[in-house]
Amino acid sequence: MPSALHTRLAMLTAALALALCACGASNPDSGDGGPADGGIRICNQPDAGEFIALLSDLQDYESWETFVLPDGQTGQGIRHVYLNQRPPPGSCAFPVGTIIVKHAPAIGLRGTEQIDAMVKRGAGYNDGGATGWQWFGLARAPNDGGVTIAWSGTVPPPNAGYGPGNADCNGCHGLSGANDYVKLPPDAEGQQIAAPLRLDAN
C-alpha cells in the first residue's frame, strides 16, 4: 500500500497537471486581457464595485479630454467625443466610473443635435449586452446650458436610439467586445485621433 506521503505527492502532482492544462488551453492573448473567441475580451481585473452615475457626474463633460473626429464617411458630420478618465496603462478593460460622451451635430444622422453617453457601471450591469455599460441619452438644459438625462438603461426607448432606425446601442457596441465595447472610428484618421480609447494602445 502506498504511504501517506506518496498519496499526498500524487495528489499534488495531479493538481499541478490540471493547472497547467487549464493555462495551456486558454487563449494566449487572454491572460492579459487580449481578445478571446468571438472578439470578447477576457479580463481578470478585480471588480471595482458599482458606479451609479448621477446628473452631476455628466455636467461639464465639455471640459474633459476631447477627440474631434472627422466625418469618416459615416454621415454623422464632425463628432466630438469626451472622456472623463483614461484607462491605466496595461488595462484590459475601462475602469468602473469611466464616462464617454459623444456629441453629433445637427447635421448628423437624425438631422438634430444628439448627445449620448456610455457609463461603466460595472457589477454585471447589462449582462448579455455590452456588459458593465449603461447607456444615456442627454439633452441640453434649457436654462443653464448644461444637460439633462432624457433616458438611461440597457436599451433606448422607442425612437430614442442613435441615428435612423432607432439603432440599439448593444447591437453596435457588441461588435467591439475586444475593446470593452467602446467603438472606434472606422477611418484611419479617426482611429489615430481616438487612440487613447484603444485599450491596446494604453
Task: Please choose, from the candidates 106, 108, 76, 94, the residue with its C-alpha nearest in 3D space to the C-alpha of residue 197.
Answer: 94
| Weakest-pLDDT range from 94-98, 126-130, 138-142, 195-199 | 138-142
Q: What is the pLDDT of residue 87?
A: 94
Q: How confident is the model at residue 159 (pLDDT cuts 50, 70, 90)?
A: confident
How do 79-83 and 114-120 pair as beta strands? unpaired
Question: b or e along 151-177 (b: 16 or more beta carbons within 10 Å of the residue's beta carbon)?
Answer: ebebbbeeeebbeeeeebbbeebbebb
User: Over the stretch 67-118, which tens digit does the pLDDT of each residue have?
Assistant: 998 876 566 678 899 999 999 999 999 999 999 999 987 655 556 788 999 9
CB 161 within 8 A of CB 168: yes
Question: b or e along 180-196 (b: 16 or more beta carbons within 10 Å of the residue's beta carbon)?
Answer: bbbbbbeeeebbebbee
Q: What is the pTM of this model?
A: 0.76
Burial class (CB in 10 A: 0-12, 13-18, 19+), 78: middle
Which residues have a Cβ under 8 Å from the Cβ of 194 and sit 6 or more positions away? 67, 69, 81, 184, 185
HEC states along 126-169? CCCCCCCEEEEEEEECCCCCCEEEEEEECCCCCCCCECCCCECH
Is residue 170 pLDDT above 90, yes or no? yes
